[in-house]
Amino acid sequence: MPQSIVAVSVVVRDYDEAIRYYTDSLGFDLIEDLPQSPTKRWVVVAPRGPGSCRLLLAQPKNDAERAAIGRQTGGRVFLFLHTDDFDRDHAAYLFRGVKFLETPRLEAYGKVAVFEDLYGNKWDLIQPH
């Protein structure tokens, strides 16, 4: 049976704040925003392009989840965003205020730079060879 990971949950402070960041700063599409209760929504964003894994934006429901905001992987790079044009996307992200933690570098697998999202989660922006 074929399987695939189609979404990853990201704990965020606020749905609307997160939607603005991921759509305006990173240029993602808002795929779904469906109310589930007075305090819970099903919010999904995704990078533009075929076959992209989606992010399910989840507001915390308790202190333990709130403590995980921005540190879901203990400070390691959490998500890996591939691009077909690193220089274009890097420049666009800088213009939109995305915080890069390093200058771009060349690795055996491609051109890469680490950035932080609104909550402090670390991402790799990568143009594979």
- Residue 123 falls inside a structural domain: yes
Q: For all residues of the chain together, what is the average pLDDT?
A: 96
Which one has a higher pLDDT value, 44 or 52?
Answer: 44
Looking at residue 53, its amino acid is: C
CA-to-CA separations, 95 to 45, 82, 89, 106, 124, in angstroms, rounded: 21, 19, 10, 22, 18
Question: For residue 22, what pLDDT band results from cuts at 50, 70 and 90?
Answer: very high
Angstrom CA distances, 1 to 4, 53, stand at: 10, 19
If you average pLDDT over residues 99-109, what whole number do you get? 98
Both 41 and 82 in one domain: the answer is: no
> Could you tell me if 94 and 119 lie in one domain?
yes
Q: Is the pLDDT of residue 52 over 90?
A: no
Regarding whether 88 and 40 lie in a shared domain, the answer is no
Nearest to 63 by CA among 115, 11, 118: 11
- Domain residues for the domain of 20 are 6-62
Say how far apart CA 94 and CA 101 lie, in whole Å: 11
Q: What is the pLDDT of residue 51?
A: 79
Average pLDDT score over residue span 35-62: 94
Instruction: Please report which confidence band the pLDDT of residue 18 belongs to, taking 50, 70 and 90 as the band edges.
Output: very high
Domain count, the chain: 2
Question: Of 121, 98, 114, 95, nearest to 21 (Cα)?
Answer: 98
pLDDT mean over 12-32: 98
Nearest to 114 by CA among 90, 85, 95: 90
